[in-house]
């Protein structure tokens, strides 16, 4: 369990910075996401859309790719913003993406304040289910 404080303002700034890189010509809804890793790195990502709309990559997809490409590890705190810098809730698919890489005490900034991963994705399916006998 980490004991140092989460710098939420730094995460917000990283999410806004990531959002400015978004490629969202179809929805015109740029998104940026940033997270603090267990070893103190900040990883981030933006949404990248596609002319074949269903292939759109959410900002969280880039974030977990960035996590893995920069040393791996787990996510301790998460912040996602829209074009106005307002807090954005991760979509359902992205909650699952984040769940895979959650630190045990992971927190997310939400429109209702700071919440745990378990609060935003209760009773989640995860790697543990692949290991348990059915
Ligand atoms: N989007 C994200 O990047 N993350 C989310 O959690 C919610 C939705 C993007 C996908 C699409 O490019 C745009 O927002 C509108 O849905």
Is pLDDT at 20 greater than 70 in this prediction?
Answer: yes
23 Cβ closer than 6 Å to some ligand 1 atom: no
CA of 58 to the centre of ligand 1 (A): 5
Complete DSSP assignment for 36-87:
EETTS-EEEEE-B--SSGGGPBPHHHHHHHHHHHTT---EEEEEEE-TTS-B
Is pLDDT at 130 greater than 90 in this prediction?
Answer: yes
Cα 108 from Cα 114, distance rounded (Å): 6
Is pLDDT at 73 greater than 60 in this prediction?
Answer: yes
pLDDT for position 118: 97
Task: Report the nearest-CA residue for atom 10 of ligand 1.
Answer: 58
Give the ligand 1 atom nearest the CA of 26. 12
Tally Cβ neighbours within 10 Å of residue 97.
17
pLDDT for position 4: 73
24 Cβ closer than 6 Å to some ligand 1 atom: yes
Cα 6 to Cα 39, 51, 54, 57, 90: the distances in Å are 12, 38, 34, 27, 19
Give the ligand 1 atom nearest the CA of 24. 12
* Mean of pLDDT over the chain: 96
Domains of the chain plus CATH, in order, are: 3-130 (3.40.140.10)
């Amino acid at each position: 369990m980490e004991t140092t404080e989460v710098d939420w303002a730094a995460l917000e700034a990283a999410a806004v910075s990531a959002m400015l890189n978004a490629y969202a010509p179809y929805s015109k809804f740029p998104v940026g996401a940033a997270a603090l890793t267990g070893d103190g790195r900040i990883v981030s990502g933006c949404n990248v859309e596609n002319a074949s709309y269903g292939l759109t990559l959410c900002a969280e997809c880039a974030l977990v790719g960035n996590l893995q490409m920069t040393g791996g590890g787990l996510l301790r705190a998460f912040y996602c913003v829209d074009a106005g810098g307002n807090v954005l809730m991760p979509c359902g698919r992205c909650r699952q993406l984040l769940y895979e890489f959650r630190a045990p005490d992971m927190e997310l900034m939400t429109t209702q304040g700071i919440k745990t991963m378990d609060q935003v994705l209760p009773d989640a399916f995860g790697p543990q289910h692949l290991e348990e006998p059915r």
